[in-house]
């Protein structure tokens, strides 16, 4: 399960699935809390998680009445990612795709104008303090915890670029070591009784002099592939654990191992970083030097890359034919 939709399906039918399948999910109350950004606020307060200040609102009228309590700059996020998977072309053209709709606001007026155009969702939305700084300050903890919340394996990654910049998914990242951040992650997960696969996103807050936790994602990630390249295969650890095999806690992994999603990173540079001058062409090219692994291409297993390339070319040809 690589996304929220698959995870919600497994959570909803876990009692029916467990007799026939082996998998490990967090307790239902914890899973519900980390899946909803609104409920996560309460969990973070109860468990004393190091998160940015945030408030939940049901609609723009409630936001207007409580806007004086908000810190600027800020960012608006839906309770569930799917809430911003727009159902009409008008909404898509107005807000862009989900990740493009995540943006920084520097004034209450701009915030209200944006939220006034949002379609009402039953779960509402949150307004969170925005942490300034380049994308290289975003770090992630990837791990797997057993039934007693004992961490069996983990690795850390640091983002180099995201698509779109500052609010998107990882486009280029590398492994790194930070014992304090790893220890904090394991402690926080143990505090809430977490179990199973997990990814925690952080961003370094220069004002606080500390990492702030942005979210806890309880599902597998594309970037778990980077951990396998670096020496920590979380999927294999989970498989062996669910088979009842003895799994010793793994801590060692390679430092500075990089994974590059070529198409996403090129889009991020051409549409974002190049225009803001955060990455000059020379610096961008320099960042690609050295050995790296690829999101899709693997010389030992080229079929996924070939299939992906053929599909991409097919889509482009189809659009050209339809346009003509």
* Same domain (yes/no): 163, 148: yes
User: Which CATH number belongs to the domain containing residue 190 in this structure?
Assistant: 3.30.470.20
Q: Is the pLDDT of residue 300 over 90?
A: no
Whether residue 113 is found in the same domain as residue 30: yes
**Cα–Cα distance list, 136 to 171, 204, 221, 295 (Å):** 12, 9, 19, 19
Residue 269 lies in a domain: no
Whether 171 is covered by a domain: the verdict is yes
* Tens of pLDDT, residues 121-174: 999 999 999 999 999 999 999 999 999 999 999 999 999 999 999 888 899 999
**Is residue 71 in some structural domain?**
yes
β-sheet bridge partners, residue 57: 125
Asked which of 25-29, 145-149, 194-198, 292-296 is least confident by mean pLDDT, the reply is: 292-296
How many domains are there within the chain? Answer: 2
Residue-number span of the structural domain to which 175 is assigned: 135-263
- Verify that 115 and 224 share a domain, yes or no: no
141 falls within a domain: yes
Q: Are residues 259 and 140 both part of a single domain? A: yes
**Is the same domain home to 99 and 205?**
no
Say if 284 falls within a structural domain: no
Instruction: Summarize pLDDT for 63-86 with one digit per residue, the tens.
Output: 999 999 999 999 999 999 999 999
Query: Domain boundary residue among 247, 263, 279?
Result: 263
CA dihedral 48, 49, 55, 58 (to 10 degrees): -100
Residues 109 and 195 in one domain: no
* Cβ pair 106, 145 in contact under 8 A: no
Give the domain-ending residue among 263, 282, 306: 263
CA 146 vs CA 7, 168, 222: distances in Å: 18, 30, 21
Give the chain as a 3 state SS string: CCCHHHHHHHHHCHHHHCCCCCCCCCCHHHHHHHHCHHHHHHHHHHHCCCCCCEEEECCHHHHHHHHHHCCCCEEEEECCHHHHCCCCHHHHHHHCCHHHHCCEECCHHHHHHHHHCCCCCCCCEEEEECCCCCHHHEEEEEEEECCCCCEEEEEEEEEEEEECCCCCEEEEEEEECCHHHHHHHHHHHHHCCCCEEEEEEEEEECCCCEEEEEEEECCCCCCHHHHHHHCCCHHHHHHHHHCCCCCCCECCCCCCCEEECHHHHHHHHHHHHHHHCCCCHHHHHHHCCCCCEECCCCCCCCHHHHHHHHHHHHHHHHHHHHHC
Give the total residue count for the chain.
324
What's the pTM value of the predicted model, to 2 decimals?
0.91
pLDDT at 302 over 90: no
**Residue that is last in its domain, among 96, 129, 162:** 129
Neighbours of 150 (CB within 10 A): 14
């Amino acid at each position: 399960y690589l996304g929220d939709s698959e995870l919600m399906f497994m959570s909803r039918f876990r009692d029916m699935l467990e007799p026939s399948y082996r998998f490990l999910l967090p307790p239902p109350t914890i899973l519900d809390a980390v899946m909803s950004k609104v409920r996560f606020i309460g969990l973070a307060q109860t468990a004393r998680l190091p998160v940015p200040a945030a408030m939940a609102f049901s609609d723009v009228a409630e936001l207007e009445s409580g806007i004086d309590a908000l810190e600027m700059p800020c960012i608006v996020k839906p309770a569930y990612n799917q809430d911003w998977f727009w159902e009409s072309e008008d909404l898509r053209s107005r807000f862009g795709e989900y990740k493009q709709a995540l943006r920084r606001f520097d004034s209450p007026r701009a915030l209200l104008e944006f939220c006034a155009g949002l379609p009402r969702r039953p779960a509402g939305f949150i307004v969170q303090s925005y942490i300034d700084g380049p994308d290289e300050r975003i770090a992630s903890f990837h791990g797997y915890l057993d039934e007693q919340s004992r961490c069996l394996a983990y690795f850390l990654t640091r983002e180099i670029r995201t698509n779109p910049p500052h609010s998107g998914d990882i486009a280029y990242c590398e492994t790194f070591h930070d014992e304090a951040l790893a220890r904090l992650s394991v402690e926080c997960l143990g505090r809430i009784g977490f179990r199973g696969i997990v990814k925690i996103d952080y961003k370094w807050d220069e004002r606080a002099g500390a990492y702030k936790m942005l979210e806890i994602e309880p599902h597998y990630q594309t970037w778990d592939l980077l951990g396998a390249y670096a020496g920590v295969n979380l999927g294999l650890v989970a498989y062996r654990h669910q088979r009842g095999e003895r799994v010793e806690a793994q801590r060692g992994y390679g430092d500075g191992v990089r994974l590059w999603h070529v198409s996403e990173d090129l889009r991020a540079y051409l549409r974002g970083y190049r225009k803001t001058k955060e990455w000059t062409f020379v610096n961008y090219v320099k960042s690609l030097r050295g050995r790296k692994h690829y999101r899709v291409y693997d010389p030992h297993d080229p079929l996924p890359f070939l299939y992906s390339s053929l599909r991409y070319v097919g889509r482009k040809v189809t659009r050209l034919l339809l346009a003509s």
